[in-house]
Amino acid sequence: MNGAQALLRTLAGSGVNVCFANPGTSEMHFVAALDTVPELRGVLCLFEGVATGAADGYGRMTASPAAALLHLGPGLANGLANLHNARRASTPLVTVVGDHASYHKRFDAPLESDIDALAGTVSRWVRRPSRAADVGADAAAAIAAAKTPPGQVATLILPADASWSEGGQPAPPAAVRLPSPVAGETVGSAAVALRSGEPCVILLGGTALRRPGLEAASRLAVASGARLLCETFPARHERGAGIPAVDRLAYLAEFAATQLAGTRHLILAGARAPVSFFAYPGLPSSLVPAGCELHVLAEGTDDVPGALAALADLAAPDAKPAAQQPVSQAIPDAELTAETAALVVGALLPEGAIVCDEANTSGLWLPASTAGAPPHDWLTLTGGAIGQCLPLATGAAVACPGRSVFALEADGSAMYTISALWTHAREQLDITTIIFSNRSRVGATRGGDAARSLLDLSRPGIDFTALATGMGVPASRAVTTAEFAAQLRHALAEHGPHLIEAAVPPPW
Ligand SMILES: Cc1ncc(C[n+]2csc(CCOP(=O)(O)OP(=O)(O)O)c2C)c(N)n1
Ligand SMILES: [Mg+2]
């Protein structure tokens, strides 16, 4: 058995069953070994940013890593922005980067580069096995590292000679660290804050945003009057009818400051202390109001839902969670805008949908319009690096084949990783992509013609239906709300990928 075969057997033996791949010559032995390990499904992605974003989507939905197979330093570099988003999402993810044979490196061939340095920017764990005999054990360690709470990116750099040489040995699964239990006194001091009668906010993040954490948090809010908020860009937020609702902390610093104004106790459960996205002259970077005391109930590495449940048993023993009531939206009889499109999405969202949200400025109305829709998961742009949505949807759909996946995508962002559509078609994934085609990058609009030109996507206009059909995804364009609703109904009724280009004006 060679090193590559040992790697694949170790991955499959530890439950890594999918590899999103963009391989080249140095990964040839890995690819050849796929035929001998049928438990590992290779999914071809035509750009590394698609492979890494897909592995992120898969890991968010399964809490178990997929592998992303990348080609040396340049392949890894192409995948970095979505690995950055995965790192911010605390997604378990194993990156395998093929490298030159060890003896070839000193010749400085064209693809030679500092892979370790690149990998270090996003990975909590990096290792380079030097012999085929080490590959299996190092792969098992990579998987355990990826699963270390709350989840992280682990990168295995695989020299071609370690891959092709005989002497490989698959390794059994390595022990995985469990989330740390939260000490009783930490729970007790949060309970004291909740009972103080002073204004409290519980800020939820990470695993607190799944149903058990939300229900415990809701009991606390009901019993103590504390307000609930969640991090601005959650990795995976379970929401909809029957689940306690929680508003996100606003993206714009002045709105977030308003949400938090007057808070005396900020209790963090799986979320970090809030900071503004960018610095603004004269304004503080921290969003914690002056005079507010921070209480860290549970960090990401802790058992966050367990801590919330323990706190609820202590401070809200008799309270019942407040479930979001179902709301059925009507299809609005008005022109197609980002707002009316959001209402249509809210009206038609099926139970169990997985929504990948990179609608950017067009997405402003989505949280409200979908709040009372049937239960669903909402996946956001955790690291702010656009070009994530179409890849993320790819991975979510591979992870959850029975569920309907939505990619709610802004036009400028779509162009970064548009080739994901080809993988949607090739794998016949049940993904409905909605492009909010406002023909602009809204952003800051200060400045003259030269500045405005850099925000304009109308010269030439991008024909998303042509792009999609050119890659095998059936597509249509909607210019009225009725058309949009009809096209969305059709897309949801038919299995497989669809794309709808919604012609909407910029919101401002
Ligand atoms: C990787 C990366 N590059 C650049 C940016 C800066 N950026 C933020 S939004 C945006 C363009 C957004 O345009 P679009 O996706 O059409 O969204 P809209 O503004 O129309 O809502 C850019 C370039 C970013 N966030 N991430
Ligand atoms: Mg746009």
Using one digit for the tens of pLDDT, what is the confidence trace for 20-65? Answer: 999 999 899 999 999 999 999 999 999 999 999 999 999 999 999 9
User: Ligand 1 atom 23: the closest Cα is on which residue?
Assistant: 441
Q: Give me the mean pLDDT over the 464-470 stretch.
A: 98
pLDDT tens-digit profile of 372-421? 999 999 999 999 999 999 999 999 999 999 999 999 999 999 999 999 99
DSSP 64: S
Task: Find out whether the beta carbon of 487 lies less than 6 Å from any atom of ligand 1.
Answer: no
Mean pLDDT, the chain, integer? 97
Ligand 1 centre to CA of 218 (Å) is 34
80, 413, 415, 440: residue to mutate for ligand 1 pocket, most atoms within 8 A of CB: 413
360, 366, 380, 454: residue to mutate for ligand 1 pocket, most atoms within 8 A of CB: 360
Instruction: Work out the pLDDT band at 448, boundaries 50, 70, 90.
Output: confident
pTM attached to this predicted model: 0.98
Instruction: Work out the pLDDT band at 4, boundaries 50, 70, 90.
Output: very high
Residue with tokens 């897909």: 54
Task: Find out whether the beta carbon of 31 lies less than 6 Å from any atom of ligand 1.
Answer: no
* Ligand 1, atom nearest to 358 Cα: 15
Angle (CA) 187-192-195 rounded to 5° is 125
Task: Find out whether the beta carbon of 357 lies less than 6 Å from any atom of ligand 1.
Answer: no
Q: Please report the DSSP string for 74-125 in residue order.
A: HHHHHHHHHHHHHHHHT--EEEEEEE--GGGGGG--TT---HHHHHHTT-SE
pLDDT of res. 508:
82
Q: Give me the mean pLDDT over the 288-308 stretch.
A: 98
Task: Find out whether the beta carbon of 415 lies less than 6 Å from any atom of ligand 1.
Answer: no
Ligand 2 centre to CA of 249 (Å) is 23
47, 441, 455, 501: residue to mutate for ligand 1 pocket, most atoms within 8 A of CB: 441
Task: Find out whether the beta carbon of 390 lies less than 6 Å from any atom of ligand 1.
Answer: no
Instruction: Work out the pLDDT band at 442, boundaries 50, 70, 90.
Output: confident
Ligand nearest to the CA of 338: 1
pLDDT of res. 444:
58
- Nearest one of 287, 300, 272, 73 to 179, comparing CA atoms: 300
Q: Give me the mean pLDDT over the 174-184 stretch.
A: 98
Q: Give me the mean pLDDT over the 252-256 stretch.
A: 93
- Nearest one of 280, 266, 106 to 202, comparing CA atoms: 266
pLDDT of res. 507:
85
User: Ligand 1 atom 1: the closest Cα is on which residue?
Assistant: 385
Share of the chain above pLDDT 90, in %: 96
User: Ligand 1 atom 21: the closest Cα is on which residue?
Assistant: 361
Q: Give me the mean pLDDT over the 272-287 stretch.
A: 94
Instruction: Work out the pLDDT band at 282, boundaries 50, 70, 90.
Output: confident
Residue with tokens 């995508």: 409
* Ligand 1, atom nearest to 441 Cα: 13
pLDDT tens-digit profile of 489-508? 999 999 999 999 999 999 88
Q: Which amino acid is at 15?
A: G
Are the C-beta atoms of 309 and 243 separated by less than 8 Å?
Answer: no
Ligand nearest to the CA of 454: 1
In sequence order, which ranges of 250-303 are alpha helices (DSSP H)?
Answer: 253-260
Distance CA 249, CA 201 (A): 11
* pLDDT over 70 (residue 445): no
Exposed (0-12), middle (13-18) or buried (19+): which is 337, by Cβ within 10 Å?
buried
- Nearest one of 261, 316, 248, 325 to 287, comparing CA atoms: 261
Residues with CB under 5 A from ligand 2 (ion): 410-412, 438
Q: Residue 238 corresponds to which tokens in the numbers above?
A: 């379970």
Q: Give me the mean pLDDT over the 322-344 stretch.
A: 97
Distance CA 118, CA 252 (A): 31
Are the C-beta atoms of 479 and 439 separated by less than 8 Å?
Answer: no
* pLDDT over 80 (residue 443): no
